[in-house]
Structures are given as structure tokens and as C-alpha cells.
A and B are shown apart, each in its own frame.
Chain A
Amino acid sequence: MTYPLVVTRRMTDHPADSHTLERYEATSGYEQARRALTMTRDELVEEIKTSGLLGRGGAAFSAGLKWSFLAPARPSYLVINGDESEPGTFKDRQLLERDPHQMLEGVIITAIANEVHHAFIYIRGEYPKPARRVQTAVDEAYARGYLGKGIFGSDYDLEVTVHLGAGAYICGEETALINSLEGLRGEPRLKPPYFPAAKGLYMQPTIVNNVETVSNLPHILAMGSEEFIEIGHPLDTGTFMISISGHVNKPGNYELPHGLTWRHLIYDIAGGVPGGREIKAIVPGGASAPWFIPEIHLEDQITKDVCAEAGSMLGSGAVIVMDETTCMVRAAERIVRFFAHESCGQCTPCREGTTWMEMILRRIEEGQGRAVDLDLLLDVSDGISVGLAWPPKMTTICPLGPSAVSPVLALRDYFRDEVDEHVKMAGCPLKKVEAHA
């Protein structure tokens, strides 16, 4: 079965040199950036709004709507979020590495639409190769006059700066990223008042968009909104990149239209589970997303709304499949540990609560769990995400703290017995089975 490709078309057709300027220009590259120069801000914003393009960084917010919220003060800035640190996510890496000019053309279009004359591309520090490729692309674009003073011979100036992160997940959160760019501690800012569209980088109106989001833009302009909407699901237009990993036979990045089912994704596209084992749980949208289980969710459509109704999200498009050999307590502990470690430490519930959760889970996994511990764990989680609902009622500044609660919801809803067994057996039942076998 094949699906229409948008952002991975070039790299699929020309795997050897899709990242070069020559190939990019030979495949209609930079035509849409030139065209964008002839359009007004309103026209561009309207076009992208109509296309229904949702942000691909995790929050799935309409890109066109975001642009329309940009406050009137100038200068305005554009920040491209290439921090990609959500566990299980590795799609931006491929877009940056294999088609940097496509992203850069998206940057130029976004800049023009938002009257930006200085854009920043923030790339995860552990991505040296993608960063090199992007820098080369930027240098080439400057050399050709596609960036810098009077781009493409127009009177529009655009500077682009590439910046590397320093190894903090939280710097993917847009306001922490802005702090980091400004040389401050990587901590999310308060909203209100620091909504980037009003008071962002250097306190000026700022657009923050994900790499994949802007990589779509040249194509939307080229094919027009109508055609873009045709791909995918009417409420969730276009394609999106899924990074699937864990217990599947063919892990990797897949560009797919919205609206397929989880079963189709896992069994048909990703080749099913090794050894024909049963799926135990699915993380549908990065480590922050509450888990699904096959008994309930396997036939669900993969769209933003269906996911939300089921109490989770597509997030950054990272799907992690766990089969029957996986200890759910251990998996939860691993994810909670990640968030506890990555907490910026600003707010009490996240800083103290997530570490506490990690300690309780580790205790249960290591065989020192008490009968009261699951309830304690839930109550501690309740202090970070009051009512343990979805979307969370956060007691924190940003969603990182509540993200740590997601795996705990799965323990409560689907795997309570497994937790109880850990307590009763004073250790991990799966490990003990292994040891006896």
C-alpha cells in the first residue's frame, strides 16, 4: 500500500543527494519562496489557515491561526523548533538531515508571512550532522542571495542564525527555547504574560514553529490548499511523520496521511510485533502521551480528535509499541525518570513531585512496594495534575510535570493487577518468570 508523500518525497526519490542545493533547485526548489515575496501577509496567512495545517511540534495548533495572532509590534522574530527531544521522536532529524533546503524555504515563507527579518533555527545539541547540513544549506542560500540583504533580488532582508541546544529536553518547550536562545536558563516562561506571539524573543512578537510544520509550507503553496486538504483527514489535513519504535519489526519514520488505524500502522506498515507476540501497550504520541491498549484502541483512527476523545494525543508523532514481555511498572518508571530528570526545577510540583513518583515506582519495581503505594503514587500525581484528567488540570507552569503522570494513568486504568503483583511478589513478576524459565 502506498500513500502520497509530501515532505519526504524528494528524499525518497533521490536518496543520494536530496540534501543538496542542486537537487533542491532541480526539483522546483525555492519557487514558492519567490512567489511568497509577491504575496501579502494576509494572503499568506489566509492560505495556510485554509490548508488546515496543524503544528507538528506536539500541540497541534493551527499554523495559520498562530500566525494571525502575531502582535503588531516590530521587529518580529521567527524561531524554528528543531530541539526534538521527546523520547521516541526522530522525524525532524530526518527532515533536517535529508532535506534542509525544504525546511529553509519554509522558513523564508514563514518569515515573509510574519514580516520577520531575522529567523533562528534551534537544533538539538545531539544532532551534529543535521546541524551541519542545515548550516551548509544556510551558507549556500546566503551565497545565492536567497538569504541576507534583498533576498531573491527583492527588497526584503532576511537573516538566519543556526543555534545548537545544550542537552535539555525542556528547551523544546517554546518559551524555554526562547530563554535558551537569549542565553538564560532553559526554563519555560509564564503565560500570561509571555505568549511568544506577543512577548517572545527579546520581548518582541515571535512565531515558534516546528521543523516539520514549516517543511510543509512550500508544498502547500505549490499544490494549493484544496489539494493539501484532500490528503489525509478532513479535520486533520495533509500527511504527518510518525516515528515508530519499540516492539515492531520495521521501526522507523513513516510519512502517512491522517486517519489510518493503529492496527494498520503497527501490523501493515511497521511489520507487526517480533515473534508474533501480543501488544501490551501503545504510546501514541511521545512519552508525554497517555498510553493506549490494543483491547480498546487498536481499531481507532489516528487523528487528533479521536485520540483526544480517547484521553490521549498524537503529540510529536512518536509511537512506541510494547509487547507482552514488557513490565509496565518498569516502563512507567523509565518514562517518569526521564521527566523527573528533565524537569527544569522551577515549579514545586514538577521538581519535587516527579522525583517522588520516580522513587515510588522504583521501589515497587525493586520489590519494596507497599500496598498503599499505588494510591500514594496516584495522589502525588494528583498534586501535579489535579483530578488526573485529560487534558490535565496542571498545577505547574508548563506541561512537562503533568506529562510524567501519563504512564501512571495507564497503571491505574489498565495494569493495576500488575502493580499489585509486584507488591505481593516483592519484585517484578516478569523478571521472576524469566529467571524460572
Chain B
Amino acid sequence: MPGPCQIAVSCRHVACTASGGLGVAMGEAGPEHVTITIDGVSHEVPAGALVIKAAQDRGTYIPRFCWHERMNPVGMCRMCLVEVQGPRGPMLVTACTNNVADGMVVDTRGPTVKKAQEAVLEFLLANHPLDCPVCDKGGECPLQDQAFSHGPGESRFVEIKRNFAKPIPISDLVLLDRERCILCARCTRFSDEISGDPLIEFKSRANVTEVNTFPDLPFSSYFSGNTIQICPVGALTSAQYRFRARPWDLQMVESSGMHDTAHPRLSVQVSQNEVLRLVGVDNDATNHGWLSDKDRFGFQYLTSEERLTMPLVRQDGQLVETTWAEALDRVAERIGLIRDEDGGEVFAVIGGGHGTNEDAYAISKFARVVLETNNVDARLDDALSSHFLAATADRGLIADIDGADTILLWGPDLKEEHPTLYLRVRRAAQELGVRLVVIHPRATGLDDRASMKLTYRPGGGFALLDEVADGKHPELRQALSADRVVAIVGQASFADGPQLAESVAAYVRNKAGSARILPLARRGNIFGALDMGLAPDLLPGRVAPDHAGRAALAESWGEPPAARGKDTRAMLEGIDSGEIRFLLLVGADPVRDVPDPRRALLAMDSAEYVVSIDLFLNDSNREADVVLPAAGFAEKDGTVTNLEGRVQKVNVIAPIPGQGRPDWAILDDLAERAGRPIGLANAESIAKEISEVAPAYTGITWDHLEWEARDGAVVPLSGSQPLSHIPVALKGDNAPTAPLLLHVGRTLYDDGVMLRHSPSLRPLARGAVVHLNPEDAKKAGAQDGHPVRVVTSHGEGEFSAILDEGTPEGVVYVPFNQPGGAPLGTDAVVRVTAVGR
């Protein structure tokens, strides 16, 4: 077992040493250096750096408005003017657009520079309204700050200021006040360079230039909130946060976004015990500071009136409020009875993919020690194999995307399901020249940046993979033979089944010089949950139940059950057939969340005893016997693990409403009452226990994360991976054949419980729609915007038709879990008929 100091060393260079990511594979020697003089002092700086950056890294801050480290420089605001010695004397140049050169002499403070900077500031303020007291940016405004520190004081501009209509909404989430805009092009560059939605642009010219959206085209970007964050003035403001607080009233902690498995770093900002906004934190490893609007605005559910605040127990058919003692004693008693009668085999635990690692560990320990079962699963019948997800050999880092030769993306539409990863891949393809191959049943958000795009009929993924292996797509084969290939794989369509992704990974691994795999899965902390053993064939620390690593665990837990447990599908079937008598749901809503809800509905109907730990009542726990109120995002401390295996700290800053408690605390209490204490005192001590008993997590303590590995630590640290899963080539069922095949895919905004209770985002869900190729629509007699009936052998419902060239002929695309939408299951064969004909 590696000692703690070894870990500290490797973690300081997480990106290069922790898991042997491509960062090292690229063999990048450190950048070359040149010598420049800044204000009379000589410095060694990386060759090719921008002057503004080189100076900043050497402690000289050059004022700026338009430059943003994550975007291409435009040199527009002119605030960063400095003097550089040239062949014909000193020249004024912008520090943000000029690269350092050996021997360069830079003056950032001389009289010419001072004059230029003061002038620019005065020009910017000339037309800027003096409404700081009512401006949301007041107190955290670079323009205001600069005006205080560099400005001339009194304005000499006595003319009438520029006049625009006060804030206009440019999207549902963003307001634009053009009078405050200083035309720095950060927002326009963001939408053009980063998110790829060029929907916000400059209009007109000269002194009446303005940013605006195109007429009739709202700024409907999934990433619009980033423009608010990077706007250096109060021109772009958040409809949600507007007038809610002043920066000096806010308390904040750093945390990670939990809507998907990339875990973008962010700052949670709170006033009077209420989360008011989330702001991206720049982080090389994950998100570069960007957030999706779902990450940024999707927190209102935390303060929803409908949050559960008290334990509920069923009494005379109704759920009624009660005390923790009463509720937990009831459950404990029932557990004891059932366990005595039938043993651990009849217990089932579904969920745990949304909480912290500490929560997941508690669930895992509770299941094994108290319920004596391996019937646990954090996946909801929609994920790849647990060993592949948790312990695939050659797992990549997100940062590997930047240095790849080829990125293969065969999985869901990243823009819809993994938005910050989408931005990273987009940047790699657009700005870094990485070759991108996208394989998906229909159009995706990255097609415009892909150098190769293959579509296939839903359910036909294995057939396509066979074709590729047989040499039918030589260009693709060639792209995959490159030195550095990153394969991002996941389930593209319900019709494909989860095995396809593993087979794709196996193929790429055999083909490429050096392949890195990034597996995709849903639910924010699914990777943490699997690492904590929330799968029927895993124990904490990536240990298979029959692995020697279980010894350490046995010492602490007692001998865990050895037999492989049931996965979610088997558990649901088991409930229906009576094999399972007791179901514990932790933050899980199978009725809404599994691909084929018929099974879940039957199970919930026939379950003998259901206990749910959740934030809300939902379609799965409404009929439960006991419902226990839990803690949500920012209401608890802990760690989480993202898709690359990066463990990061999340932090508490808001109180849990009512009597809610973190999952681990509920389960610890329950275990005690059930007579099998699991000894979990607080989240930090749980983390310590994890680091002692879960081999892959050795040495990962909160101390380590808070003081040494600020960008998180990637597990496993080299050498300590107990399980190394080599992806295997599986075979698919025969591809379905029918004139029309159904492709069900997720979208960023859906009818999930968090969004349903977040008023800002709720209206953005697409609703019950079906995308049809215009040819197919013609055949079905369907018109754009008109209702059609969609029927499969698993379900049917009425949907509004969208005629869409992005959906190939013969494919019917239905976004999953939309308000008003009916579930259609996983059967690919589908019929579509126009309604009212």
C-alpha cells in the first residue's frame, strides 16, 4: 500500500501522474523559456506566452476588460496598453494580443502607458450610466474597481449619454442592458468560440454599436449563464439573481456541480441561508470555469415549498408526519422481522447515485451489514457494466481531450447529457485541431465540429461496429489508428442496450496506439457510488466481492455476503415476483427514471414494504410505507467522484430545511435501531474510514483534498487499483428491422425531479414532442406542430410532431421524460400516425 507522502507527490501533478493520463503520454517537455524585462525587472517566462499572462504570472497585473484567459484575444477594449521597445523607439501595444519575445522590454507604468490607460477608462465611463447603486454587478464590477484605482475621478463628459431601452430579456434567463455594455466581445466570443451558438452578436457600428440577438432568434443557448459570469460590467444579468443580493452580503464555498458526472467546479453563494447563485470556478482539470445553465440555475428546487421536511409514515393509507424515532423504529422493526424470516436475499436497495461518496458508503455498508445483501445498485437499468464503469483499464482524464489526435464520441449527445464535457470536446475540435468522430443515430450538437459523422439506425450499433471491424469504414479505422485516441463511450440510444459502449471501447483499445476511455453514465455521482460498492458485484474501493481486497473490509464490517446480488432490473422483477420483500430507495425514482417504466410500475404496485429517502415525494415513493427527508446539494459536506475518477470535495453552506438529514446519518441511526450499528459519526470520519478500507481510495482524506489536491485527486493512484477491467467485445441482439425505429434520448432539460421544482428551468423542457424526418412525416400525414400518435409494444402516447432534417429517414426521435410525455420503453419498433385523420 502506498504511503501517504507518495500520494501527496502524485496528486500535485494530478493531470500527469495520477492515472498516467495522456498529459504524460504526449511526452511534453516543459515549455521553453525566454527572458523579458517588465518594468525594469528581468523575468524568465514561457516562450510564446501573451505579455498580459506572462506579466500576471510574474506578479504584474495589467488592467484588462476584454481579455479572458479561456478565449482568443480580440484587443478591443485597449485597457491593457503597455509600451514595448521596438526598433524605432517605444511602441504602444496591447498586452493581450502580443506574445513575449526574447529580450523584450515592457513598460506597464510609464507616463505614456498611464495616459493611455486613463484615457481608455475615461472613454469607457463617458457613456456608462451612473447606476451602480441599482446595478447587480455593483461591488464585483471590474469597471467600477478600475475606475476607483486607475480612473481620473470626476468625468469631463458633459454631453448627453448614449441611450438604449433599459434591460431587454435576450433569453428566459438573461437580461441585457445595452447602456452598461462596454463592447468587450466576451459574450459574443463565448457564444461563437466556446458554446458554438452564435446567437448573440454585434449590431451596427461606431458609437451606436450594440450587442443583441438576431430578430426572432432568442439567445436559447444551454450555456447562456456564462455570459453573465464573464461580462465585466452589469450589462448581462441573471433574471433569477437580479436584485436578490449584494456581493458583500454573500457567503460562499467551493463545490462541484452534480447534474452530470463531469463535476464542474463552482462557487455556491448564499445569503440569509438561501442559495442565491452558482458561479463557475476556473479549473484546468474539468470545466475551465464554464457551467451549463442547468448546472448554474438548477438549484431552486432546494428551497421549493414541496421539499420534504418531516419523516412520513403510512397510517390508514395516508402518509402522515411523525418523529424520526417513530419512523426509524418502525423500519428497524420491519427489517428485523423480514431478515429473521428470509435472510438478506429478500432486501433490495436502489439509488445512491446523486449523493456524496460518504452517503454511498453508508448505503453500501448498511446494505451489507444490516440488510445482509448484495442486492444494491445505483444504476437504474440504463448503464454500462459496473466493472467497466468503475475500473476500466486505460480510463482517461477529461484533460486528455485537449491533447488527443482523435476523439471518438459514440454515445449520447454530449450537449444534452454532459454539457461541460461538450464544451471541452468542442474546443478541442474547433481551437486545438483535434480530429473528432461522432457516431450517433441522429444529429448531435457536435456535428458541425466533427471531421467525421456516422449515423446508424437505432439498435444497429453492433452491426455498425462489425462493419468497422471488417474494414468497411477505412477512414474511421485510420482515425482510430492514431497515436492518441480518446474514446468517449456511453449508451447512445435505449435501443442499443448498454453493452455496445463496452464493445466500442474494446475495439478502440485494440486498434489505437494509446487509447484512453471516458465512460459515460447518468446521475451525478454514479462513479462515486460504484466506487463505494453500490453495485451487486462491487465492494468499496473497486473490489469484486471475491477479491482479496475484501479482507480489509471484512476486518471493519464483518464478513460481507459473498454471492453476487441483483441489479436494478432483477430487483424490480424480484419485487413483482415476490422474491424481494423490502425495497429501500435512496434518491431514486425508478418509475420516472428507468428506460422501461412498466417494470418499475408493476414493482411499486406489488411491493410489500418500501422505504424512501428523498427530497421530494415522487411517482415511486408516493405509495411507500415510510418516506424520510434528506439533505440536498450544498446542505452537506462530502466528496464526490467524477467520470475520470477525480475525487473532489463538496461543501455545506445552506441549512437542511425542516428535519431533513444526510443519508449517512439516517442510515447510521437506522442501523443502530436495527441492532447492527455501523458506527458512522460524521462525514469526515466516514471519508477517513473509506480511505482505510476501500483500496482504491487509500490516502484520500478531506485534509488531502483541501490542502494538497485543490483540483481533486484522481483515483486510483497508480498501483492501487485492485480491479482492472479490460473491456470485452460483446455481441448485440439482432438489429430490429422495421420501416420506423425509435430513438429515445435524453435532453438537458426534462421532467426530472430537480428541474420540475426549479421554476427558472422548468419552462425550458421541450415537452411531449417527436422528431420526424420530413419524408416520414409526409408518409404518416404528420404536420409540423400537429399531434401524432406514437405506439410501441411497450407504450404509446400523443406527441407534437417536429419536422427535423437532423433525424434520418426511418428514425423517430423522442426526448425522454418530458412533461406531458408518455413512456415508450426500449422497444425500437414504432408506429406513427397523425391524429385526427
Known: A352-B127, A383-B120. A346 touches B76 (CB 8 A): yes
Contact partners of A386 in chain B: CB under 8 A: 92, 112, 115-116, 119
Asked if A190 meets B75 with Cβ closer than 8 Å, knowing A383-B115, A387-B112, the reply is: yes
Asked if A356 contacts B75 (CB within 8 A), the reply is no
Asked if A115 is at the interface (CB within 8 A of a chain B CB), the reply is: no
CA distance A394 to B77 in the complex (A): 13
Q: Across the interface, which residues of A come within 8 angstroms of B119, CB to CB?
A: 349, 353, 380, 382-384, 386, 395
Select the stretch in A101-109, A122-130, A298-306, A336-344 that faces chain B. Answer: A336-344
Is A364's beta carbon under 8 Å from chain B? no
A347-B76 contact, Cβ under 8 Å, with A383-B116, A386-B115: yes
Q: Is the CB of A349 within 8 A of B205?
A: no
**A residues 61-118 in Cβ contact with B at 8 Å:** none
Does chain A have a CB within 8 A of B243? no
Task: Tell me, yes or no, whether A275 is within 8 Å of chain B by CB.
Answer: no
Task: Contacts A190-B74, A356-B157, A395-B78 given; indicate if A348 touches B209 (C-beta within 8 A).
Answer: no
Known contacts A192-B98, A383-B115: does B120 contact A344 (CB below 8 Å)?
A: no
Q: What number of B residues sit within 8 Å (CB to CB) of A?
A: 36
Whether B78 pairs with A345 at a CB distance below 8 angstroms is no
Bound state CA distance, A398 and B208, in angstroms? Answer: 19
Question: Known interface pairs A192-B97, A395-B116. Does A343 touch B123 (Cβ–Cβ under 8 Å)?
Answer: no
Of A383, A384, A396, chain B has the most CB atoms within 10 Å of the CB of A383
* CB neighbours of A356 from chain B (8 A): 123, 126, 157, 159
Q: Does B156 contact A (CB under 8 A)?
A: yes
Residue of B nearest to A351 (CB): B207
Bound Cα distance A395, B77 (Å): 10
B83-110 residues with Cβ-Cβ distance < 8 A to A are: 91-92, 97-99
Is B75 touching A343 in the complex (CB atoms < 8 A)?
no
Known: A351-B183, A352-B123. A345 touches B209 (CB 8 A): yes
With contact pairs A341-B206, A348-B123, A351-B183 given, residues A359 and B76 touching in the complex (Cβ less than 8 Å): no
Report if B81 contacts A (CB, 8 A).
yes
Q: Does A431 contact B (CB under 8 A)?
A: no
Decide: B120 and A345 in contact? CB cutoff 8 A. Answer: no
Select from chain A the residue with minimum beta-carbon distance to B201: A185
**A168 beta carbon closer than 8 Å to chain B:** yes
Complex contacts, B157 vs chain A, CB 8 Å: 356
Q: How far is the CB of A170 from chain B (nearest CB, A)?
A: 8
Q: Nearest chain B CB to A408's CB is how many angstroms away? A: 15
Contact B202 A353 (CB under 8 A): no
- Who on chain A is nearest to B97 by CB? A190
- Which residues in A have their C-beta under 8 angstroms from that of B202? 185, 345
Q: Is A397 an interface residue (CB 8 A)?
A: yes
Contact with A along B103-147 (1 / 0, CB 8 A): 000000000100110111011101100000000000000000000
Knowing A345-B183, A356-B159, A383-B120, say if A396 contacts B206 (CB, 8 Å): no
Chain A residues whose CB sits within 8 angstroms of the CB of B159 once the complex forms:
356, 359, 363
B260 nearest CB across to chain A (Å): 35
Residue A424 at the chain B interface, CB threshold 8 Å: no
The answer to the question of B770 belonging to the interface, with a C-beta cut-off of 8 Å to chain A, is no
Minimum CB–CB distance from A135 to chain B (whole Å) comes to 28
- B206 in complex: contacting residue of A340, A359, A380, A382, CB < 8 Å: A340
Q: Check: A23 CB closer than 8 A to any chain B CB.
A: no
Most B C-beta atoms less than 10 A away, residue of A185, A352, A355:
A352
Interchain CB contact (< 8 A) of B182 among A343, A348, A393 = A348
Per-position 1/0 for A234-274, Cβ under 8 A of B: 00000000000000000000000000000000000000000
Contact (Cβ within 8 A) A393 B78: no
Does A203 belong to the interface (CB within 8 Å)? no
Q: Mark B189-206, 1 if CB is under 8 A from A, else 0.
A: 000000000000010111
CB distance from A378 to the nearest CB of B (A): 12
- Could you tell me how many residues of chain A have their Cβ less than 8 Å away from some Cβ of chain B? 36
Which residues on the A side are within 8 Å of B98 (C-beta)? 192
Q: Give every chain B residue within 8 A of A345 (Cβ-Cβ).
A: 183, 202, 204-209
User: Please, which residue of chain A has its CB at the minimum distance from the CB of B185?
Assistant: A346
Given A190-B74, A192-B97; A349-B123 close (CB under 8 Å): yes
Query: Is A331 close to B, CB under 8 A?
Result: no
Q: Which of A328-377 contact B (CB under 8 A)?
A: 340-349, 351-356, 359, 363, 376
Taking the closest CB of chain A, its distance from the CB of B682, in whole angstroms, is: 54
Cβ contact within 8 Å between A395 and B76: no
CB–CB B120/A393 < 8 A: no
Known: A190-B97, A192-B98, A356-B126. A348 touches B120 (CB 8 A): yes
The distance in angstroms between the C-alpha atoms of A215 and B439, with both chains bound, is 54
Report yes or no: A393 in contact with B126, Cβ–Cβ below 8 A: no
Q: Inside 8 A of B74's CB, which chain A residues have their CB? A: 190, 346
Bound form: Cα–Cα A397–B127 in Å = 21
Q: Interface readout for B201-220 with A: 1 if CB under 8 Å, 0 if not?
A: 01011111100000000000
- Measured between alpha carbons, how far is A380 from B79 in the docked complex, in Å? 16
A383's closest neighbor in chain B, by CB? B119
Chain A residues whose CB sits within 8 angstroms of the CB of B206 once the complex forms = 340-345, 351, 355
Q: Which residues of B contact A186 (CB under 8 A)?
A: 205
Across-interface contacts of B183 in A (CB, < 8 A): 345-346, 348, 351
- Residues of A contacting B97 in the complex (Cβ-Cβ under 8 angstroms): 190, 192
Distance A384 CA – B78 CA, assembled complex (angstroms): 10
Report yes or no: B120 in contact with A349, Cβ–Cβ below 8 A. Answer: yes
Which of A192, A352, A363, A396 is the one whose CB lies under 8 Å from B126? A352
Please give, as numbers and ranges, the residues of chain B lying within 8 Å of A395 by CB-CB distance.
78, 81, 92, 116, 119-120
Measured CA separation A220–B410 after assembly (Å): 62
Least CB distance, A342 to chain B, in whole angstroms: 7
Whether B156 lies near A376 (C-beta < 8 A) is yes
Q: Which residues of the other chain, A, contact B207 by a CB distance below 8 angstroms? A: 340, 343, 345, 351-352, 354-355
CB distance from A361 to the nearest CB of B (A): 12
Closest residue of B by beta carbon distance from A353: B123
Q: Mark A277-307, 1 if CB is under 8 A from B, else 0.
A: 0000000000000000000000000000000
CA distance A342 to B122 in the complex (A): 21
A351 pairs with B116, CB closer than 8 A: no
In the complex, which residue of chain B has the Cβ closest to the Cβ of A363?
A: B159
Q: How far is the CA of A410 from the CA of B144 in the complex (A)?
A: 36
Contact indicator B116/A343 (Cβ below 8 Å) = no
List of B residues within 8 angstroms of A168 by Cβ: 205
Residues of B within 8 A of A363 (CB): 159
Please, which residues of chain A bring their CB within 8 A of the CB of B123?
348-349, 351-353, 356, 383
Interface residues of B (CB under 8 A from A): 73-79, 81, 91-92, 97-99, 112, 115-116, 118-120, 122-124, 126-127, 156-157, 159, 182-183, 202, 204-209
List of 4 A-B pairs having minimum Cβ-Cβ separation, nearest first: A383-B119, A345-B209, A352-B123, A355-B207
User: What would be 11 A-B contacts, judged by CB atoms less than 8 Å apart?
Assistant: A185-B202, A343-B205, A344-B205, A345-B204, A345-B205, A346-B76, A352-B126, A352-B207, A356-B126, A383-B119, A395-B116
If A383-B122, A383-B123, A395-B92 are given as contacts, then 11 extra A-B residue pairs at C-beta distance below 8 Å, sorted by A number, are A190-B97, A192-B97, A343-B206, A345-B204, A345-B205, A346-B76, A348-B76, A351-B123, A351-B206, A383-B116, A395-B120
